[in-house]
Structure formats: C-alpha cells, structure tokens
Amino acid sequence: MEKTIEVAEHETQSDLHFRSSLMTLLLPALIITIGYGGAWGWLYLNGQSQSALARLCMFVLVLGVPLLIAYNTLKFATLGIRLFANSMIVHKGFPARDPMDIDYQYIKSVELEYGWFGQFTGVASMHIFLRAGKPITISGLRYPKKALEAVQERCVN
C-alpha cells in the first residue's frame, strides 16, 4: 500500500520547474529608490526639504517603493512553469489568479523574446503559441534557454 502511494506522489510531482528572477523584479525598485532618494537628498542639502518636489520624492519613497516591492514579490512567488510528462502548468504571475494546464499536443510553437534589459540579465519572455486561441506570455523567466529546450523537447515527443 505504501509503495502505491509513493508512486502516485512521484507521478504528480513536476520534474522541472522554471521561475522568475527576483533580482530583475526588484531592480526597478532599487533604481527608483536611488533616483528619488538622491533627488530628495539634494533638495534637503540645499534647504528645499519642504518644497513640493521634495514632498513628491518623499511620497514615492514612502508609498511607491514599498508597493512596487510588494507587487514584484507577489509576482515572483506566483510566476513560473512546471513541466510534467504530458502537460505543463503555466502561471503568469500576479495578478493572474489561476494557473493554466496546457497539454503539449496543443502547443504549436514556443519562442523567447529578450528585451534590452533581459540581454544584460539573462531573463526573457516566453511566448507559447497554441494551435487554437491566443498566445500565452510568461515574462521574466530565469534560465529561459533551458526552459525553451525542455518545453520543445516535450512537444516533439
């Protein structure tokens, strides 16, 4: 009986899982923090800390940056691809709610798209073109070439 349960658990587990890159998701928040923090610091040193521009910088630093970090952390926690023997589960990340279960036989082709930022960080968007329906895009995948090869290998077999 225990062996049957063990085999059933093994068959339901994913053999490959590709996720997003936390560094590339949090890098925009870091850049905004440096920019607005530097602007506020310059205004403070010049005696302009009570100006409207200084208040705007403080507003972005106090509210905007934490909200951006929270959004990107939720996106990191939910974005990913799990590959199984006959299908793949795709979760496009926050705010998308439900993951999609896609059988390999319904996939027409898979492509990668590197943005200018992705060329430096090695992160890409994966476009999954289905035989019927709209293409599915997963943005910000870490190790995109390995993910592409794994999906293409399963689509052929």
Q: What pLDDT, on the 0 to 100 scale, is given for residue 84?
A: 87
Q: What pLDDT, on the 0 to 100 scale, is given for residue 93?
A: 80
Q: What pLDDT, on the 0 to 100 scale, is given for residue 20?
A: 81
81-156 CATH, one of 3.30.420.40, 2.30.29.30, 3.90.1310.10, 3.90.1300.10 = 2.30.29.30
Please give the order of strands across the beta sheet that includes 79-83.
16-19, 79-83, 87-92, 100-103
- Each residue's pLDDT, cut to its tens digit, for the chain (157 residues) gives 444 434 344 445 556 788 888 888 888 899 999 999 999 999 999 999 999 999 999 999 999 999 999 998 888 888 889 988 888 888 888 887 788 888 888 889 899 998 888 788 888 889 999 988 888 888 888 888 998 898 888 886 5
**In the chain, where are the structural domains located?**
22-75, 81-156
